[in-house]
Structure 1
Amino acid sequence: MNLLSILLQAAGGANQWSGILMMVVVVAIFYFFMIRPQQKKQKEIQKSREALKKGDKVITAGGIYGKIKEISDNYMSIEIAEGVNIRVDKTSIFASAEDAQQK
């Protein structure tokens, strides 16, 4: 074997590792710029949902404004007009009305 063939084989191995390294870098970029911020936002929304109490004004994901009348484990009863109550899933509460007005 001559020196040229040895160098070409060594360079081929380096290309393989550089491809793997590039994939790791791409995954890290996706994690830090897309996945991690979304997880932080979800935790913030969850904290705000847990802090809601009876009498708070809220907005549902469908855009319905109302006042919380009852809170259960899985749902909330919201008064959207005088004497008109609807029951919505807790996860469909988008934000409190005060938070939405500040944005």
Structure 2
Amino acid sequence: MNFNTLTGTTAASGGNMWTIVLLYAAIIGAFYFFGIRPQSKKKKNEEKMRNNVQIGDEITTIGGVVGRVVGIKDDSDTIVIETGTDRVKMRIKRWAIGSIDTIHADAE
């Protein structure tokens, strides 16, 4: 009696294993290209935007405060903005910038 007929295994079971491995690899690849990669690109663009802020730019913080940049302190990573009609000055951290609303002539 043949051992393969007793156990019910054939040569096709090795092919099924590779199919499953390739399926898992495709799922992991899809997670990378649709989830991780776009998120890292977005994070890199936000960091570039925050590092390119200039005095005079109109910004919106992640908390919704709108103001104009009047000072940048490089050593402490702090930005001073002026907001409202009373021209109140606020110190914020660079990471708190949500968007820069000023359009520069050299922007791409």
Question: Normalising TM by the smaller chain, what interval?
Answer: 0.7 to 0.9
Q: CA RMSD in A?
A: 2.2
Bigger helix fraction = 1
5+ residue gaps, structure 1, are none
Moved over 3 A (4+): 2-7
Cα contact 1:65–1:97 (8 A) shared by 2: no
Q: How far does residue 45 in structure 1 lie from its aligned partner after superposition?
A: 1.5
Alignment size in residue pairs:
99
SS at match of 1:8: coil
Q: Hey, what's the Cα distance between the residues in 2 that align with 1:70 and 1:98?
A: 16
Percent of aligned positions that are identical: 32
Q: Match for 1:48: what amino acid?
A: M
5+ residue gaps, structure 2, are 104-108
Aligned to 1:78: 81
Aligned to 2:60: 59
Aligned to 1:96: 100
Q: How far does residue 5 in structure 1 lie from its aligned partner after superposition?
A: 5.5
TM-score, normalising length from structure 1?
A: 0.79
Q: Hey, what's the Cα distance between the residues in 1 that align with 2:29 and 2:73?
A: 40
Residues 28-43 of structure 1 aligned to structure 2 (within 5 Å):
28-43=29-44
Cα contact 2:59–2:67 (8 A) shared by 1: yes
Q: Hey, what's the Cα distance between the residues in 1 that align with 2:46 and 2:67?
A: 18
Q: Match for 2:78: what amino acid?
A: Y
Residues 1-40 of structure 1 aligned to structure 2 (within 5 Å):
1=2, 4=5, 8-40=9-41
TM-score, normalising length from structure 2?
A: 0.76
Q: How far does residue 72 in structure 1 lie from its aligned partner after superposition?
A: 2.1
Deviations 1:11-67 (A, max 9, x none): 333332222221111110111112111211222122221211111110001111001
